[in-house]
Amino acid sequence: MAFCRRDPNLSRDIQVFVKPAGQACNLGCHYCYYSGKAVLPPEGAPLLMDDGLLEAYIFQHIAASTDEIIRFSWHGGEPTLAGLDFFRRAMDLQQRYKPAGRTIRNGLQTNGVLLDDAWGRFLAEAEFSVGLSVDGPAGFHDRHRRFRNGRPTHDRALRGFEILKRHGVATDILCVVHADNAGHPAEVYGFFKSIGAAFISFLPLVERMAEAAGGVSPESVSASAWGTFLRAVFDEWLAGDIGRVKVQIFEEAARTAFGQEHSLCLFRPVCGGIPVVERNGDFYPCDHFVRPELRLGNIRETALADLIDSPAQQAFGRAKTETLPRVCRACPVLAMCNGECPKNRFLKSPGGETGLNYLCAGYLDFFSHCRPFVEAVAAEWRNRNPNAPASAAASAGRAGAKSGSPRIPGRRNKKP
């Protein structure tokens, strides 16, 4: 394959969720948004991405990437089902096609139950960062995260976490906040501190169910509970954990005070920057919108860069801003939220407009609560650097948000 020279004037801000094993998973989590909902491959299709397609994808991903650091994000389903040999081949291909002077970083999102020391050594040697799904103490985690035969998974997930720690693999805990654990923020956050988690992302569970009360499943977190949960964790973090624990949504809130663009797509004004490549090469605009009518092509037939730049993908991203209700446009914390994820925007505003986020009240509560602190931090930085230009403040925000963070798996980590 002939490699294309990178155009220094082109900026393509992308991150692709590639699913080498598709939606296949060894767990039967009750809230999985792929189970029974995503597009199934044709009958007889291979269970894993084949070697030829893997090579084509890696080549095309590198060619499409315009940043100095080329980031790969391996997702699922459960990507470790692809096996170590698959990932070793992927690393070899990355090195084969890596342009001189550029750096490649890899992230993996996993439930952790298949991890062993062989995986730990590989992930450490290849300098992976890992997102590990744990919903807090066993009672909350095992309520929804079980093997397909019904057995609990908490012990296996924690064993995976210990393996990652032992091998020095940067690990971000991803905790789904649902109706069962939302009322226990101190217990959930305290548990993560007790196991030595230094990086935590809290992900709200919102399962749309039109026939149910409130339009969501009973397991979904309510907007008010979501806001209360975040406020409680923030207050505990503020009291004693600044510099010790990084909580992703707190970092995102701080970006606005430094004039920095959000790193998480759900808080950006425009989305579409994290498309999906399935194990058969199919391309979709987002992992929450893997639907037959939204299939935009296949990388065997159309170059990945062309699919990313396609009018359909760009229109998908712009729709987030274009459909934002007026009440959101006038919101005092708009810069922190930007309407959040389009998948959750199914309520009507007080004025009768469609597109209000189900979690709106919770985000308004939390961002209003933390904004004084965020603004005080930015003011203190400006006082200490009175002659620094605004661009330097943004750089300081980037440095503070990224320092020590392992969140290469995603500007938006995987959500339920």
Please identify every residue annotated as catalytic.
287
Alpha-carbon distance of 354 to 321, in angstroms, equals 13
Neighbours of 29 (CB within 10 A): 20
Alpha-carbon distance of 201 to 79, in angstroms, equals 20
The three-state secondary structure class of 69 is strand
Q: At what angle do helices 154-166 and 117-125 cross, to 10 degrees?
A: 40
Contacts of 416 (CB under 8 A, 6+ apart): 31, 32, 33, 176, 203, 205, 206, 207
Buried b (16+ CB within 10 A) or exposed e, 159-173: ebbebbeebebbbbb
Neighbours of 305 (CB within 10 A): 19
CA 174 to chain centre: 9
CB contact at 8 A, 103 and 67: no
DSSP 216: B
3-state helix, strand, coil in the chain (%, to 5): 40, 15, 45
Beta bridge partners of 27: 147
Q: How many CA atoms lie within 13 A of 358 on its CB side?
A: 23
CB contact at 8 A, 173 and 201: yes
Contacts of 44 (CB under 8 A, 6+ apart): none
